[in-house]
Amino acid sequence: MLQYIRTRLLLTIPVLLGVSLVTFSILHLIPGDPARILLGDMGGGSAAGDISDEAYENLREELGLNDPYPVQYGNYLKNALTGDFGRSFQTNRDVRDSIFEVLPYTLQLTITGLGFAILFGGILGIIAALNRNTWIDSLTMIFSLFGLAMPSFWLGFILIQFFALRWTIFPSTGTEGWRTLVLPALTLGLVASGTVARLVRSTMLEVLNQEYVTVARSKGLRERAVILRHALRNALIPVVTIVGLQFGGLLSGAVIIETVFARRGLGRLAADAVLSRDFPMVQGTILFAAFGYVLINLLVDLSYAWLDPRIKYR
Amino acid sequence: MERNIAAGAPTLALPVVKARSRRRDFVHGLLRNKGALAGLIILLLLILGAVFAPVIATHDPIMIDPPQRTQPPSRDHLLGTDAFGRDIFSRVVHGARISLPVGLVAVSIAATVGAILGLIAGYYGRWADGIIMRIIDIMLAFPNIMLALVIVAILGPSIRNVMIAVGIGEIPRYTRLIRGQVLSARELLYVEAAKVIGVPTSKIMYRHILPNVVSPVVVLATLSVGSAILAAAGLSFLGLGAQPPRPEWGAMLADGRQFLSSHWWVATMPGIAIAITVLSINMLGDGLRDILDPRTRT
């Protein structure tokens, strides 16, 4: 077990380095000179020609753009590790502060959404598996097909139309208070529940075919006990994998959902930064999201090994 | 289980299966699978709609007509008009000319690059495998849309760049799938035999290994056209893809946002268009999986 954890941790390091190299490269791959873009953006309408050569050279020096690439990358990495992602081109605020300010909102959204998805998709998947090849099964599978085909932003609009505008039960926009969380989390959860339902159905079917389920049945246990105690428990192990797989999808989903519901959050911060060419913010948000995603996958892998002793600790 | 055995029996009786009968099996399977057939028919209709969009559309999709703005669906404007008086039906029909090719091109990029990387990694193993799979790991570390955001941030917002971004984002799935398939195909006896008699590596890959991995790739490709269309529409919705006044479905939905309470049809129609398109592709993809690759059935 310890060996496995150690290997898995060591394998994470090159991935994180690679991720940081990618976000570092953003600033150097964009067409044009970052210093000019920055001066142009902050000049507030003044033509690019007005910028004095001295100001430009000073800024290049300040941003470290005159150093060789490896040195720049080293500095970038050092700063990133100490939580210094630079300052926003747009607001001149510290990127880290901006991220930490909105992070709780994104976490609330993704975790509640994930909860909805597991609850809703799990129940549907189990019902479908228990009623295999009946109309109930077909109906739930058609539902999950729709879930997979539905653009999340459109589903969000539909929920807004009914629950916010027509019946005014929940607010359609905003970030404060649990009531603003309901519709976005529901949107995120419903879209993901299609995938969850399919996965739970297939693992449940697999488990129901296992010998220990037959044994449990033949020794005269009530059906409910067979399902809950023998089948479901084993079918739940892959749900942990689902959590890992879905989390990236939920983070991606959050980018769009936060825009739909005009919520503050990491995804919207990143999307807005791309739109306004605020590169330090793009680098910071994406590096942060990717690091978070890698770490969650790491935790999922470790807990999977812990839950399922059949996994070899290489 | 019983059905599988029954279906397998004729092939057991005839050890030599000709290509033509395999094709006939495929067509039969497709005709028997109601979902796949329905998906295929809807998809063909959508493709026809895209090809003949200028004929089908009743109005110019980008012509602004202020007196006609936000009209409800009527005989003249089948699906109503948007805030600029543009005919939504015409825009939705023309939108198929953007979304369908976007999905196809993105998946072509992903499948081609993914297949080459997967073949190299699986066949050569060792350091080639190590380097390629580490790159794939790094790509997988980015949640899908985040990777697309990186690429759009570098290249700038446009529908072409969205195609590239979504395509690159899908590469890892293909590389992993094909690598896995190649690893098992490499051990097959006839591949060993070909190696022993000195067949060049490129020919072994093309003639002996590639045909083994085609089925699962076709299934994955079909299913990922749907998710690529969704992702591209999402990026356009965010303003990072198709730029106005192009009639892209995701962008049209974004335009309809401010009219949700007063003019519901502006956002609803492009939403339905996306959902139907992706649904038909997924139904076809699911059917293809059942027919071509029953092992991976979920």
- Any A CB within 8 A of B278 CB: yes
* pLDDT grade for A30, boundaries at 50, 70 and 90: confident
In Å, what is the CA distance from A137 to each residue of A130, A131, A146, B6, B166? Answer: 8, 6, 14, 24, 33
Q: Considering only CB atoms, which chain B residues are within 8 Å of A99? A: none
Low-confidence winner among A56-70, B78-92, B173-187 (lowest mean pLDDT): A56-70
Structure tokens at A292: 């978070």
Q: Can you say how many angstroms the Cα of residue B41 is from the centroid of all Cα atoms in its chain?
A: 16
B36 touches chain A (CB under 8 A): no
Measured between beta carbons, which residues in chain B are less than 8 angstroms from residue A32? none
Cross-strand pairs, B68: none
Read off the pLDDT band of A308 (50, 70, 90): low
Q: State the average pLDDT over residues A84-100.
A: 88
pLDDT score at B37? 92
Q: Do A29 and B134 touch (CB under 8 A)?
A: no
What angle (nearest 5°) sits at the alpha carbon of residue B237, between those of residues A198 and B174? 45
Average pLDDT over residues B224-250: 92
Confidence of residue A202 (pLDDT cuts 50, 70, 90): confident
Tokens of A224: 């409910």
A2 to chain B, closest Cα gap in Å: 23
pLDDT higher than 50, residue A46: no
Contact A157 B150 (CB under 8 A): no
Instruction: Tell me the average pLDDT of chain B.
Output: 86
Minimum CA–CA partner of A19 in chain B: B138
Element spanning B161, H or E:
helix B159-186
Mean per-residue pLDDT for A104-129?
Answer: 91
Q: Do B143 and A275 touch (CB under 8 A)?
A: no
Percentage of residues of chain B with pLDDT beyond 70:
91
Decide if B142 and A19 are in contact by the 8 Å CB cutoff. Answer: yes
Does A13 lie at the interface with B, CB-CB under 8 angstroms? no
Q: Is the pLDDT of residue B8 over 60?
A: no
Taking CA atoms, B112 is separated from A57, B117, B119, B142, B217, in Å, by 44, 9, 11, 21, 10
Residue B296 pLDDT: 52
Segment A122-143 mean pLDDT = 89
pLDDT over threshold 90, residue B131? yes
Picking from B131, B142, B237, B240 by the largest number of A CB atoms within 10 A of its own CB, the best residue to mutate is B142
Choice among A11-20, A41-50, A165-174, A279-288 with the minimum mean pLDDT: A41-50
Number of H helices, E strands in chain A: 14, 0
Question: By CA distance, what is B234's nearest residue in A?
Answer: A256
pLDDT at B12: 42
Name which of A148, A151, A290 is nearest B142 (Cβ-Cβ): A290
- What was the ipTM of the complex prediction? 0.85
Residue A118 CA to residue A124 CA, distance in Å, equals 10
Q: In the predicted model, is pLDDT for residue B204 greater than 60?
A: yes
CA B121, CA B123: separation in Å to the nearest integer? 6
B153: contact with A, CB 8 A cutoff: yes
A145 interfaces chain B, CB cutoff of 8 Å:
yes
Instruction: Give the whole-angstrom CA distance, residue A112 versus residue A118.
Output: 10
Partner residue facing B282 (CB), from A145, A157, A286:
A145
Whether the predicted pLDDT of B4 surpasses 80: no
Q: In this complex, is the C-beta atom of A298 within 8 Å of any C-beta atom belonging to chain B? A: no
Mean pLDDT, residues A206-220 taken together: 84
In A162-221, the residues whose Cβ lies within 8 Å of chain B are 165, 198-199, 201-202
Please write the tens of the pLDDT for every residue from B241-254. 998 889 999 999 99
Task: Give which of A309, A304, A312 is closest to A244, Cα–Cα.
Answer: A304
Per residue in B288-297, pLDDT (tens digit) is 888 886 655 4
Q: Residue A292: its pLDDT value, please?
A: 87
Q: Which two tokens stand for residue B244?
A: 């106005």
Question: Which of A19, A160, A274 is facing B152, going by the closest CB pair?
Answer: A274
pLDDT score for A146: 87
CB contact under 8 Å between B146 and A161, yes or no, is: no
Is residue B103 a contact partner of residue B229, using CB atoms and an 8 Å limit? Answer: yes
Please tell me the predicted confidence (pLDDT) of residue B185: 84
Residue A43 binned pLDDT confidence (cut-offs 50, 70, 90): very low
3-state secondary structure of A89: coil
* Shortest Cα–Cα distance, A239 to chain B (Å): 15
Residue B184 CA to chain centroid, in angstroms? Answer: 26
Q: How far apart are CA A280 and CA A106, in angstroms?
A: 20
Chain B contact set for A201 (CB, 8 A): 298
The chain B residue lying nearest A286, using CA atoms, is B146
The answer on pLDDT for A62 being more than 90 is no
Q: What is the overall mean pLDDT for chain A?
A: 84
**What is each CA distance from B230 to A181, B265, B274, in whole angstroms?**
24, 20, 7
Percentage of residues in chain A with pLDDT exceeding 90? Answer: 22
CB contact under 8 A, B142 and A286: yes
**pLDDT average, residue stretch A251-259:** 90
- Taking CB atoms and an 8 Å limit, are A157 and B257 in contact across chains? yes
Residue A20 distance to chain B (closest CA, Å): 10
Provide the pLDDT for residue B10.
42
A30, A165, A267 ranked by CB distance to B261: nearest:
A165
CA torsion B94-B96-B97-B101 (nearest 10°) is 170
Asked if A251 and B278 come within 8 Å (Cβ–Cβ), the reply is no
CB A198 within 8 A of CB A125: yes
* Residue B92 in contact with partner chain A when CB distance is under 8 A: no
pLDDT given for residue B83 in this prediction: 84
Residue A62 CA: distances (Å) to CA of A34, A70, A80, A184, B52: 12, 17, 17, 41, 57
Whether A309 shows a pLDDT value over 70: the answer reads: no
Determine the residue of chain A that is closest to B136 in CA distance.
A15
| pLDDT tens figures, A10-24 | 888 888 899 999 988
Encoded tokens for B105:
């091109």
What's the whole-number mean pLDDT along residues A145-163? 90
Q: Is B290:B36 a contact under the CB 8 Å cutoff?
A: yes
Half-sphere exposure in the Cβ direction for A270 (13 Å, CA): 34
Contact A274 B144 (CB under 8 A): no
Report DSSP letters for A181-210, one per residue.
HHHHHHHHHHHHHHHHHHHHHHHHHHHHTS
- Determine the pLDDT at residue A311: 60
Mutant choice from B2, B134, B144, B145 vs A, greatest count of A C-beta within 10 A: B145
Q: Work out how many CB contacts closer than 8 A connect A with B.
A: 149
Please check whether residue B157 touches A, CB under 8 A. yes
pLDDT at A29 over 50: yes
Contacts with A, B 115-134, CB within 8 Å: 134
pLDDT of residue B120 exceeding 70, the answer is: yes
pLDDT winner (highest mean) among A210-224, B43-57, B254-268:
B43-57
Q: How is residue B145 written in tokens?
A: 């849309």
For residue A157, which residues of chain B lie inside 8 Å, CB to CB?
A: 253, 256-257, 260, 267-268, 271
